Amino acid sequence: MLDNDKLLFALNNHDGVSGTVLGQQLGVSRVAIQKRIQNLTDNGLPIEAAPGVGYRLPDGVSLLSEQQLSAALNNDLIHSLTLFQTIESTNSYLLTQPIDVGQARLCVAEAQSAGRGRRGNEWLSAPYRNVMMSLSWGFERWPETITGLGLAVALEVAEYLRESFEINVQIKWPNDLMVDGAKLAGVLIDVGGESTGACNVVIGLGLNVHQPDWCISVARLGWFRGDL
């Protein structure tokens, strides 16, 4: 089966490459290459195709590396880091994991097929173009309340973006991050476990970095509800 990361790596290293050459490099047919590229394009990845030139990614993509992420974290509290090329929902995944009291799990994905948001809303996100991540923490007993946790996380993310990238981020109650009226990010809080015992509290963050044109009108209407 053709992996997206191998295909994108090949496109990242060429000004233009034909489907035939890509098929030879990756051991699949030209038709398989065409179908996979069409799927990625339909989902918002700006792959160009030109006669006599082939396929190309004009701006390239930065593929996530589990090794680099692990080295950058350098945090003994994070029990595990899992990186997926595609997953239904990083929040949903962490809710199925064992509860390790006093330890965190981090899940990051290049693409989500069923991202969730507040009140059951869908999170639309182009693959390989945005930040989709979730962090869980194991508690010995169910917290008395998690009210305000989403807002606290949104405040921390907004402050980091303002200081690190000089972005004028505003918070839309209770946990949406906005820039110039458009949705930049959203936070989703989930809890899973025994109601009278240990549990995992999961913080999901969806951050729009490079949204395709078909998402712009939706984002400006505030329909995105974050999850990662």
d(CA 19, CA 54): 7
| Domains in the chain: ranges and CATH | 4-56 (1.10.10.10), 66-220 (3.30.930.10)
What average pLDDT does the chain have? 82
State whether residue 31 is helix, strand or coil.
helix
Mean pLDDT (whole number) for 15-23: 88
Where does the pLDDT of residue 127 fall: very low under 50, low under 70, confident under 90, or very high at 90 and above? confident
pLDDT in tens, 64-87: 888 888 888 877 888 899 998 888
pLDDT in tens, 184-202: 899 999 999 877 789 999 9
Contact (CB, 8 A) for 177 and 160:
no
